[in-house]
Amino acid sequence: MTDRIPIPRHVAIIMDGNGRWATQLGRERYEGHIAGVESVRAAVKAAVRRGVEYLTLYAFSTENWGRPAEEVSAIMELFCRSVAGEVDDLRAQGVRVKVIGGRERFSQRVAEHLDAIESRTADCDKLTLVLAFDYSSRSEIAAAVRQIASRAAAREIAAETIDESTVSAHLYTASIPDPDMIIRTGGDHRLSNFLLWQASYAELYFPKVLWPDFREEQFDEALNEYARRERRFGLVTDKK
Ligand code: FPP
């Protein structure tokens, strides 16, 4: 008999520590973001290799717009370059990209890159790479509530039938299963407005590694940690 360890269907990552990594090396913060792209490649490769079906990366939070303008434009530029440069490789690995978050604040160029990466990988089916870009969980939930309220006002939904599945179906992540594991690199223990509704039963893991130092080995360590967790979903276990 082979020993199979449980593999999370959906892993979500808060990629933290780019700025600290760069500062520790006496470099500019944006250089940490550049180095972080290599870690994104490693995480995608490891997820495909381990048979994870969904990998969500918190690439830019709505709050990140408040960072110095040079850092915001460096991240946007890096994102456009990475997206354009990686699309063939993503396709070769069978990776479909889906972007979640608000689209209104991006320049036309960034918006076009987001549309292009989604449409050029739409037929891939091995891994869904969800990029949370201009994402905030509270605004996602508020937008869902607005939509549900206006559908109720238009009598498309009866108010008394609104339940948890109605809310889930109106989030950006409507077609995506809830994350089984959320990893936050960089050692901080918080979710920072990321997938708050969806995280209800996720296993949380906070390794100290800074994101630019994250490689396939660290992904494997996270999956090994997941395999050691006992998930009860509020029920009791039959183990003594
Ligand atoms: C958090 O580190 C990281 C970000 C705000 C940006 C993440 C972006 C990338 C890794 C590059 C682009 C992504 C893709 C998907 C191509 P921080 O700056 O908050 O680090 P700190 O806590 O050390 O300051």
Amino acid 161: pLDDT: 97
CATH of the domain at 32: 3.40.1180.10
Amino acid 237: pLDDT: 73
Whether 140 is in a domain gets the answer: no
Amino acid 239: pLDDT: 56
Give the ligand 1 atom nearest the CA of 131. Answer: 15
Whether 232 is in a domain gets the answer: no
Whether 151 is in a domain gets the answer: no
Whether 216 is in a domain gets the answer: yes
For residue 18, how far is its CA from the centre of ligand 1 (angstroms)?
A: 5
Whether 31 is in a domain gets the answer: yes
Residue 101 near ligand 1, beta carbon < 6 Å: no
- From the list 18, 64, 134, 238, the catalytic residue is 64
Amino acid 233: pLDDT: 81
Domain assignment of residue 193, given as a range: 10-135+178-227
Amino acid 184: pLDDT: 98
Give the ligand 1 atom nearest the CA of 36. Answer: 10
Amino acid 147: pLDDT: 97
Per-residue pLDDT tens listing for the chain (240 residues)? 445 789 999 999 999 999 999 999 999 999 999 999 999 999 999 999 999 999 999 999 999 999 999 999 999 999 999 888 999 999 999 999 999 999 899 999 999 999 999 999 999 999 999 999 999 999 999 999 999 999 999 999 999 999 999 999 999 999 999 999 999 999 999 999 999 999 999 999 999 999 999 999 999 999 999 999 987 788 887 654
Whether 22 is in a domain gets the answer: yes
For ligand 1, atom 10, name the residue with the nearest CA: 36
Tally of domains within the chain:
1
**Separation of alpha carbons 110 and 153, rounded Å:** 35
Whether 171 is in a domain gets the answer: no
Would you call 64 a catalytic residue per the annotation?
yes
Would you call 238 a catalytic residue per the annotation?
no
Amino acid 231: pLDDT: 74
Amino acid 2: pLDDT: 47
- Mutation probe of ligand 1 site: the residue of 13, 18, 79 with most atoms within 8 A of C-beta: 18
Whether 61 is in a domain gets the answer: yes
